Structure 1
Amino acid sequence: MKNISLDAVDRRLLAILQEDATVSMADLAERVGLSATPCWKRIKRLEQDGVIERRVAILNREALGLGITVIVAIRTSRHSDDWLQTFADGVSKIPEVVEFYRMSGEIDYLLKIVARDISDYDRIYRKLTKVAELHDVSSSFAMQEIKSTTALPIFD
């Protein structure tokens, strides 16, 4: 992806949209000091340039009965492209896996999983271990969520 040049208005638009993507175009335009049409064009450009990937609703996990967050560290002795493709495809099909990273260092993969409770996580764990051959799976249960955000820092 190319490095996109953002001016102060673009950065202000992005900051507002990260807080509330449902804000009306009229309100958004007023808050950044533009009329509606130039504001809309800027948003469209930011979407076309790939700066804005999508707009989503952020749901409350607790309200949906997903009270457990588990961070899963995975080590494997397999590192072939075929193995990775199988593993990535399989893990990506598990809806409770909400984040999935290939790592450097001691841990090969890191997953963030949401579950209803411990027995629900056990069901997910068993599904995960059937996806591909794994060397070690270590699960850590979050005791308290101190910070969680989807908002990215936007610098001048």
Structure 2
Amino acid sequence: MIDDRDRKLLNHLQSDADISISDLADRVALSVSACWRRVRRLYEQGFVARRIAVLDRQKMNVPTTVYMMIQTSDHSIEWLEKFRQAVLDIPEIIEVHRLTGNIDYLLKVVLPNVEHLDAIYKMLVNKVNFVDVSSYISMEGMKETTMIPTSYA
């Protein structure tokens, strides 16, 4: 079980995992040692899955976001494993979600520009059979975050 102070710690860590324990302690009104113990406990209990660096997509030259919606008529385990391997092999595909409704899978793809979309499309359809693939180009990212709400824990 975590309390409000733990939630504050987690929120600060989500926005800046490199924050010093001293600065973190100041922000949540704890002593450095108490803050360190709480942070260590949160890590040990698995509330922090991992620490990562979020790269600047503009500087990495992948500013374009495309969402691909996939429909399949084959829902076998064999097809799913082939599909899973295909999307894992393509680094431009950064998220894959299985959905309810008419669309089976939603893929988030990051690219240097729209012209690269055809190459990703060909890589996918050469590895796995689909009923339909539709692509939607994001014109503007209005909210993009890696932070999740902490109020439910």
TM above 0.5: yes
Correspondent of 2:86 among 90, 98, 102: 90
Residue 133 of structure 1: which of 129, 136, 148 is its match? 129
Question: CA shift at 1:49, angstroms?
Answer: 2.1
Q: 1:107 aligns with which of 103, 108, 127?
A: 103
Secondary structure of the residue that 2:59 maps to in structure 1? helix
* 1:137-148 correspondence to structure 2 within 5 Å: 137-148=133-144
Determine the structure 1 residue equivalent to 2:42. Answer: 46
Stretches of structure 2 lacking an aligned partner (at least 5 in a row): none
* Helix, strand or coil at the partner of 1:72: strand
One of 49, 55, 60 as aligned partner of 2:51: 55
TM-score between the two structures when normalised by the length of structure 2: 0.92
Tell me how far apart the structure 1 counterparts of residues 114 and 76 of structure 2 sit (CA, whole Å): 32
- Letter aligned with residue 101 of structure 2: G
Q: Which residue of 2 aligns with 1:9?
A: 5
Percentage of matched positions with identical amino acids: 43
**Which amino acid counterpart does residue 69 of structure 2 have in structure 1?**
A
Match for residue 145 of structure 2 among 139, 144, 149:
149
Superposition RMSD in Å: 1.4
TM-score, normalization by structure 1:
0.91
Q: Determine the C-alpha separation between the residues in 2 that align with 1:129 and 1:45.
A: 46
Q: What is the 5 A alignment of 1:12-23?
A: 12-23=8-19
- The answer to whether the Cα contact below 8 Å between 1:91 and 1:131 also exists between their aligned partners in 2 is no
Task: Give the ranges of 4+ consecutive aligned residues of structure 1 lying more than 3 Å apart after TM superposition.
Answer: none
